[in-house]
Amino acid sequence: MTQNDQILIDRICSGDQAAFYDLVGRYKKKIYHLAYDITGDHHEAEDISQEVFMKAFRALKTFRRDAKMSSWLHQITVNASIDSLRRKSVRHAKSTGELDNVSIQENLVASSTHGFDPVQSTESAQIQNRISQALKKISPKERTVFVMCHYNGLKLNETAEILNVTIGTVKSLLFRAIRKLRKELSPFMNKYPMEIPHE
Amino acid sequence: MSECKKCRSLFLEYFYGELDSPKKKFFDDHILVCKKCNSQFEEMEAVLQFTGKRVRPEPPEEFWDSYEKKLDRRIEIENEKPERRFKVIPKWAYQAAAAVALIVIGVFIGRALFSPPIPGVQHASRQPGLATQLQPETILVHRSQDYIERTKLILLALVNFDPSIEDPYALDLPYQKQISRELVEEASFLKKELAESDQERLENLVTSLEIILLQIANLESENDLEAIEIVKEGIDRRGILMEINLTDLRLSMKKGERSMSPEQPSRKPKTI
């Protein structure tokens, strides 16, 4: 745990409410992003991230000082996100996925206004759409491991610690996720080949 | 472990830059000479690079600005909620409560069935001419009790009959059927009288008994074990024997109250 986290926890435990909001400020984006990557839904991610901080608020006094704060918050987020996916699959919710694509495309349109290249913008939107669809097709566990390592910058051993599994399990889930994603995406990977970066 | 296997186990660490120098050197050296590993790594790398093109939609700044405010509101709402009045009761508590309830019911039934009769009641019934002084309603209740007692004997004989260890003829079914027929006939009169004197519970019990007795009266032979089983299940399902015991208990308690109330001196100290 970083020294700053330790100081923050000490302040929170001594009743300093401002310290809690400092903690929120430090982790809110990371937690929201992870929840979004797993659930693929903005509203769900917002709800989950706030729930994570509420749980943290309630449980901080009993927090083990030797544990890593970020791992703990990530752990709560992953559990809450997987629970949300389970509830969603029970409800057979369809509308959120559609909203999602719309929001992704809106975001892309907004970000592409700088380039003024409608062809490139359409291609990019298609790629985004394909990747989102492919991610939805892999199992929640595989997706969780994949997004943790690939989009959230967590190291393999950190992911294993958060999920309470071995690094071997993390690698195995990642390989499976990559194999499935390759199967889903290979037609588009050929259509839109990778640009070779200029060094 | 073969070099190829070792190399492939390092693919992910290599891609994410998590290899230490010796392992990275081994990986680089092997990839240069092994076409198979090289091609497999390139395939995996291509997927990871392609999926890396994903752009996560970022919420607008206003979302982040109001984030703490929303969280604060949620925490406030959470604190305002009254504490749950009913805590989750563990499973063992239900089991213990059920066990205690069964013991209490068992004690009540046992006391009602096997305890010595209340002296006052016995004495009253022995007094000559007292029966004639009884109210018609009491006579009806006595008749019902007698009817229930006779039916109970028939039902117990059937319920306790186990065809796997007993001779079917030991049941003496023709006799049981004859008694059942008589009781069915009696039930129709008794029900009518009970309905007239507003004894709804007794009437309901006699109706249930009548149905079971009718089934017994209609049994064809001792060997029709399936039909006997159906009747037994009916007795069990309707909880007939339990209902009989409870009615007995209720009636004997009423009797007790009635016999005690006129003569029993008040336990309250007299006030001067």
pLDDT, one tens digit per residue, over B199-236 is 888 888 888 888 888 888 888 766 677 788 888 888 88
Contact B64 A29 (CB under 8 A): yes
Q: What is the pLDDT of residues A15-61, one digit of tens each?
A: 788 888 888 999 999 999 999 999 999 999 999 999 999 988 888 76
Q: What is the pLDDT of residues A122-165, one digit of tens each?
A: 778 888 889 999 999 999 999 999 999 999 999 999 999 999 99
Single-letter amino acid, residue B110? G
Q: Does A20 touch chain B (CB under 8 A)?
A: no
Q: Does A194 touch chain B (CB under 8 A)?
A: yes
pLDDT of residue B88: 66
Q: Which CATH number, 1.10.1740.10, 1.10.10.10, 3.30.1360.70, 3.20.20.70, labels domain A1-93? A: 1.10.1740.10
Per the CB < 8 A criterion, the answer to whether B27 and B14 are in contact is yes
Domain boundaries, chain B: 3-51, 91-262
The ipTM assigned to this model is 0.79
Domain boundaries, chain A: 1-93
Q: Does B74 touch chain A (CB under 8 A)?
A: yes
Contact A36 B68 (CB under 8 A): no
- What is the reported pTM? 0.55
Task: Please identify among residues 156-185 of chain B the ones whose CB lies closer than 8 Å to any CB of chain A.
Answer: none
Residues of B in contact with A194 (CB under 8 A): 46, 49-50
Classified as helix, coil or strand, B213 is helix
DSSP 8-state symbol, B169: G
Of residues A138 and B265, more confidently modeled: A138
User: What does the alpha-carbon distance between residue B268 and residue B257 come to, in Å, rounded to a whole number?
Assistant: 17
Determine which of A148, A150, A169 to mutate to test the interface with B (most B C-beta atoms within 10 Å): A150
Q: Tell which residue, B223, B102, B227, B228, has the closest CA to residue B155.
A: B228
Residues of A in contact with B57 (CB under 8 A): 42, 103-104, 106-107
Q: What is the pLDDT of residues A38-48, one digit of tens each?
A: 999 999 999 99
Among chain B residues, CA nearest to A110 = B57
